Amino acid sequence: MEKQKSLNILRHSAAHIMAAAVIELFPGTKVAIGPSIEDGFYYDFDRAQAFTPGDLAKIEEKMTEIIKADYPFICSYMPKDETVKEFREKGEKYKAEIASQIEDDKVSMYMSGNFTDLCRGPHINSTGELKYFKLLSIAGAYWRGDSSKEQLQRIYGTAFLTKKDIDDYLTGIEEARKRDHRKLGKDLDLFSIDETVGGGLVLWHPKGALLKDIIENYWKKFHLENGYDLLFTPHIASEELFKVSGHLQTYSENMYAPMEIEGKPYRIKPMNCPMHLMVYKTKLHSYRELPVRYAELGTVYRFEKSGVLHGLLRVRGFTQDDGHIIVAPEQLEEEMLRVFNMAVNCLKTFGFNEYKIYLATRPEKKYVGEIENWEKAQNSIKNALKKTGCVYEIDEGGGAFYGPKIDIKIKDAIGRLWQCSTVQFDFNLPERFDIFYVNSSGKKARPYMIHRALLGSLERFIGVLLEHYAGALPLWLSPVQVAVANINEEQSGFCEELSQKLKKNDIRIIFDGRNEKIGHKIRENVMQKIPYIVVVGNKEKDAGLIAVRARGNRDLGVMSVDNFISLVKEENDRASGL
């Protein structure tokens, strides 16, 4: 905790030093805000000319000069009215606006060298205490985060207390760049996103579509084995459905505009849950049938601003790994435990063995349902989590307005946390849709509802998978498992027969029969991160054998086709758990 506090102070001071450097290098630039953030700091600037990567190097150099000068950070207090007036006279309208909204009669200012900034502090003693820093990137940002206001330029940087810490962080950034799923998606020919089609709308190429299909088939089998019934529901629905669910009243800014069909407004669906409840309502349910578990890989569409779209991680159209469970109140704890274990087992299958768990509780102000029911639900979740033996943290007030939830964040190969699985309790929709079951006394009773996603959206999950494995997916997930390559035309017939035999054994292959040197073929297939490369020359053809190379530059030598098939199938079955 103390280290984090020291880091925050250091990084906030670094933001001041960066702003001082920018003002000195680029006169006329207006400053906005410059806080410390989780991994560093930023400052927002209003400047007519765009900053360039080359400017970052100049700013770093000027910061180094300011650091060497070892200017003290000096705090002073000024009357608020005078401060606002002075900022306005200097043309610093953003600082004037911030100062005018401070409730105290006096405001604190921090001066270091020639730069004075409106700030609460605290800061390091002097600029010379900043030793390990790096400017990272430039981005756009709206003033106050409001798209109707001025567009500013944001410069991100980071700072650490030790050289080792900053070196480790920068190495992590470089590793993350190498693993960027957008680059991997292009290099491996998996998907594309084109503005002609629309931002945030994914075009899955043949190999990407196959990867998605592999995951979907696993998902369906896994859910059927765990007592779920599969559903398929329409992509659009009458606005009336989303009025009943409340989405139209509370979520309309994230929904696409209505389309009129025969004089009636329809919406493309942002959620699957309303339709799942309509399926539940088609017949009478006894307590003996509960829990009712529905699952659907439902494609939904949500409007996201273009500035937040990010490859597969933030899109506008996606396949939701959706499940909805209708339970009797006394079944809640057991079902929560069941869903949690199901989520963990699913994530482990994909190679995620480390995670952090959060229990998000009732929001302080905006929530539906009685506090007594919230307490009951939260206690049920706590009891379920205790039975797992897992350590979890309380996210106080972080629940949805309609109920508490469990969030599972997985840790990837380079230590980053990703939000995937979520289990959400819902007091709201059972009431809005007036669903019920017949209890053991023969009377109508209101059930509880659980929303749950094990992987999140498939688009986002595939993006996470690609970055976790740096594109080298496990055998069972690889769209192409084996590349067959001949040395020359004389082996083409043998390779064609070999390819057909591998396909008949459900092994996904490509035959690289191009008129290229074998070294070139091998290099290209290695770049495609294909798990196995089979090479056939005259010697192998005449003996009815194959030479096998495994990913990671492992030479497995020469073997029979049947032995190779057994090797691949055993690895595939072991890794997938299928």
Active site residues: 273, 302, 320, 322, 324, 405, 451
User: How far is the C-alpha of 209 from the C-alpha of 395, rounded, in Å?
Assistant: 37
SS3 573: helix
Whether residue 474 has a cis bond before it, omega within 30° of 0: no
The DSSP code for 454 is S
Pairing of the two strands 448-453 and 437-438: unpaired
Residues in the chain: 578
- Residues contacting residue 388 through CB under 8 Å, at least 6 positions apart: 337, 340, 341, 344
451 labeled part of a ligand binding site: yes
For residues 529-540, one letter each, b for 16 or more C-beta atoms within 10 angstroms of the residue's C-beta and e for the rest, the string is: bbbbbbbbbeeb
SS3 117: strand
SS3 397: coil
Select from 463, 466, 486, 483 the least CA-distant residue to 474.
466
For residues 413-433, one letter each, b for 16 or more C-beta atoms within 10 angstroms of the residue's C-beta and e for the rest, the string is: eeebebebbbbbbbbbbbebb
390 labeled part of a ligand binding site: no
Got the DSSP string for 469-520? Answer: TTT---GGG-S--EEEEESSGGGHHHHHHHHHHHHHTT--EEEE--SS-HHH
Here the tokens at position 244 are 């009943």
Got the DSSP string for 262-300? Answer: TTEEEEE-S-SHHHHHHHHTTS--BGGGPSEEEEEEEEE
User: How far is the C-alpha of 98 from the C-alpha of 106, rounded, in Å?
Assistant: 13
Select from 436, 445, 448 the least CA-distant residue to 280.
436
Residue reference for tokens 């690609």: 466
Whether residue 363 has a cis bond before it, omega within 30° of 0: no
Cα distances from 262 to residues 233, 235, 244, 257, 266, in angstroms, run 21, 18, 21, 16, 10
**Distance of alpha carbon 46 from its chain centroid, rounded?**
30
CA dihedral 331, 332, 335, 336 (to 10 degrees): -160
Here the tokens at position 492 are 């083409």
Pairing of the two strands 317-327 and 292-301: antiparallel
Cα distances from 493 to residues 118, 356, 376, 498, 508, in angstroms, run 77, 53, 69, 9, 19
324 labeled part of a ligand binding site: yes
Q: Which residues are annotated as a binding site for Zn(2+)?
A: 273, 324, 451
Q: Which residues are annotated as a binding site?
A: 273, 324, 451
